[in-house]
Amino acid sequence: MTEATEQFPYGVGYMDGAYCAKQDMQLPVADLGFLLSDTTYDALHVINGSFFRMEDHLNRWEQSITKRRFNTLSYDRDETREILMECVRRSGLRESMVYLLATRGEALDGLKDLRQCQNRFLAWAVPYYAVIPDDKMEDGIDICVSSVLRTPPDAIDPTVKNFARIDFSDALLEAYDKGYDHAVLLDRDGNVTEGRGWNIFALHGGRLVSPDDGVLEGITRRTVVELAQQTNIKAEFGKLKADELRSADEVFMTSTAGGIMPIRKIDDQVIGNGTKGPVTQRLTDMYWALHEDPDYNTPVDY
């Protein structure tokens, strides 16, 4: 543990033009990011002291800012990149999850006129974590197909990373009641979408499919498709029904927080032989090998 990590065990944040301990960050209750969930954010990771696919994340961030019409943010890409770097630098973390968040800003009166708000920018770096426990990384995690429908993309655009997640919360509460830790949601046509914070892939023979609609276009999801092109596996975005998910040879979830993570069971159906499959293992090895490739990594100058 470095002196920096001892000083900031919970990470380092940035808001209102200043750096601080992550736990000291506070958002005014009148901010419409809190009252209306009018926000967008992105999440990157740092492994071995380098950001992975940083520019791809910043591309998505800028697209989200434009779609949400956060027009009063004053940080350009170079300034944003430097703030993220400085959060990690000050934290001393070599492995980190790094967030950047924009909120609509504080309402000046009861009218909550969006045009009158000064948009707010926050960022923070915390110790790295995955969406599933370390002891589930080998054999995989058990999930359920939820009866809660995913909010349709024509209501809330899922390609803009956001915290409007009551559908995911309700699905997780249902999963907990059934003894599962995670749930995947369907759309109104019965197509698989995603879970909270992760995309999903199903392998049938030599064909790997991830849902093409109603989902966040994840950076790890994109990486898996790119890696599969280097193998004899045909990877694509398409439609996927719940029964196709349950009958797959292999199933895994993908996220910046954890990479490629196997799924052992869906509802009462064991997937494959109940452990990480060979394609999942091969893609996982290839994925982490990319973290040594300078074309994909941006080092932090500590």
Domains of the chain: 3-127 (3.30.470.10), 134-291 (3.20.10.10)
Residue entry with tokens 């543990």: 1
All residue ranges of the chain with pLDDT < 50 are none
Measured distance CA(214)–CA(186) in Å, rounded: 9
State residue 109's pLDDT score: 85
State residue 121's pLDDT score: 97
State residue 86's pLDDT score: 98
Tell how strand 12-15 and strand 18-21 pair up: antiparallel
State residue 117's pLDDT score: 95
State residue 108's pLDDT score: 84
Residues 6 or more apart in contact with residue 150 via CB below 8 angstroms: 158, 167, 185, 186, 187, 193, 194, 214
Record the pTM: 0.95
State residue 1's pLDDT score: 56
